Amino acid sequence: MAERELGEAAPVPPPVRPSLTPEDLKRSQDRARVSRARHGRRRISLLWLLVGPGMLAMLGENDGPSMLSYAASGAEYGIGFFLPFIGLTFAAAVVVQEMAMRVGAVTHRGYGELIFQRFGRTWGWIAVGDLLLTNFVTLITELIAVRVGMGFFGVPAPVAVLAGIALVVFGVSGGRYWRWERIALALALFNLVFLASAVLTHPDPGQIGHALITWTPRPTGPLQPVLLLVASDIGATITPWMVFFQQSAVADKGMTPRDIGQGRIDTILGSIVAAVAGGAAVVAAATLFTHHVDVSHYQSGAGFAQALRPLVGPLASSLFALGLVEAGALATMTISASSGYALGEALASPHSFNRGLREAKGFYSFNVLLAVLAGAVVLIPGAPLLAITLNANLLAVVLLPPTLVFLLLLANDRELMGPRSNRLWLKLLGGLIAVAVGVVGSAYAVVAAVAAIR
């Protein structure tokens, strides 16, 4: 009997089938709509369903500090150099963000999660730590923009900051990625009020065309402030949080390799709209340069809209201030989300807008907590708001090269990406962008150090 029992094959237990989570079900519903649109050859519907991460990354980066940086560039030096320069930085942003989108669509993993898996916990925590530091400083500047913009209309600073935080709470209250994304996209469209403001300043189309074609005149004067604005404008266009956000949002949205074409369109459209709005901020504020208005004493940031009022009227200046409110509010949502994604990926805890509050308490709590802490800093009396804003963008430039290097390593990895890994020209172009960003950040640091010694 014992021999028979030993000789008999042990019964094979039935395979364990993992149950679908509510997050899986919600995402599958979105994918079913995408599948119906694709098979029905409804191209516009398909694009509408897949648009989102690229638009939000680009327009979310047209945030408070970015628009104030663009305004400072136009007010200090006019449009000759900085208008085409901003177009160049957005072209570089398309290259970077397309890689982030493609890696997310192929791997279904966020940027932080892949860093932990491919390079280990040490590099993973360094990447996430850099991001959280940059994001916290940037969130401060987003609420500065909300405070500055609403202050133009007489709204007290505490009320303005609370309104920005309340928007974050409202955005995360739905338990659905699709809902959060559509709220953010609706808000993003208001970034174009900067274009309306610029049109109302009655710029000379010939001068704009000349600037875009010839890239002249060059900025003159001390090198340090010019380099600060150059670095700040780069940090206003390409930042670590954009890489974390777009790759994680692509994974949260459930995009697949078949969606890469629409993902590219999403990213390019976002860059075009954001470049137009950013350029409009330069053109609008260049009115101050044309009229030789000294903006050095507008260190609160609010002065740009206030200084424009006697020159271009209340409507254009009011739209400029309203644009600052939108820019700060949208970025508060997207940067908080980027922080929540990154920390959730680092801790291997639930990190999706498709999870309910009870399932992802850490993800939602961290979204709100970071905004609350940033709001507390903004309300410190006498803080130099514009200086904080420009240096926040500078910090993003300093911390950006490691993020770009890791992204390139992931996108170049044929084992990870298969046939969708970077081609040689994209490897070279991505490397050139990383080197250029590093050189600009280092150049400003050297010039600033020399000036401090003198």
Of the ranges 110-114, 206-210, 342-346, 407-411, the best mean pLDDT one: 407-411
Is a pLDDT exceeding 50 seen at residue 5? Answer: no
What was the pLDDT predicted at 104?
93
Residue 23 confidence (pLDDT)? 63
For residue 359, count other CB atoms closer than 10 A to its CB. Answer: 16
Q: Once rounded to an integer, what is the mean pLDDT over residues 309-334?
A: 86
Is residue 297 predicted with pLDDT exceeding 60? no
CA distance 16 to 13: 9
- Give the model confidence (pLDDT) of 188-206 as tens digits: 888 889 999 999 998 989 9
17-27 pLDDT, tens digit each: 555 566 666 66
Mean pLDDT, residues 67-71 taken together: 85
Residue 3: pLDDT above 60?
A: no
Residue 18 has a pLDDT of 54
Dihedral, 241, 411, 234, 444 alpha carbons, nearest 10: 100
Burial class (CB in 10 A: 0-12, 13-18, 19+), 183: middle
Higher pLDDT, 204 or 5: 204
Mean pLDDT of 71-91: 90
Structure confidence at residue 1 as a pLDDT band (50, 70, 90):
very low
Between 209 and 169, where is the model more confident? Answer: 209
Nearest to 412 by CA among 102, 112, 174: 102
Q: Name which of 324, 45, 298, 360 is nearest 352 in CA terms.
A: 360
Give 222's pLDDT tier (boundaries 50, 70, 90).
confident
Mean per-residue pLDDT for 302-326?
Answer: 84
Q: Which two tokens stand for residue 429?
A: 């172009």
Q: Is the pLDDT of residue 169 over 70?
A: yes
| Tokens coding 9 | 């094959």
Tell me: pLDDT of 7 over 60.
Answer: no
Query: What local confidence, expressed as pLDDT, does residue 69 receive?
Result: 83
Give 241-283 pLDDT, tens digit per residue: 899 889 988 988 888 999 999 999 999 999 999 999 999 999 9
pLDDT score, position 432: 94
The helix (H) or strand (E) run that includes residue 112 is helix 111-119
Please give the model's pTM, rounded to 2 decimal places: 0.83
Pairwise CA distance, residues 280 & 319, whole Å = 12
CA 350 to chain centre: 22
DSSP string of 16-39, one letter each residue? PPPPPPHHHHHHHHHHHHHHHHHH
Q: Percent of the chain at pLDDT above 90?
A: 23
- For residue 128, CA distances in Å to 118, 253, 385, 450 come to 14, 21, 26, 32
- The DSSP annotation for 53-81 comes to HHHHHHHHHS-HHHHHHHHHHHHHH-STT
- Over the chain, what is the mean pLDDT? 82
CATH assignment of 49-453, among 1.10.3290.10, 1.10.760.10, 1.20.1740.10, 3.30.70.3340: 1.20.1740.10
Tokens 């805890």 locate to 349
The predicted model gives 292-300 an average pLDDT of 62
Highest mean predicted confidence (pLDDT) among 110-124, 324-338, 341-355, 414-428 = 414-428
pLDDT tier for residue 92 given thresholds of 50, 70 and 90: very high
State in Å, rounded, how far the first CA of the chain is from the last one: 96
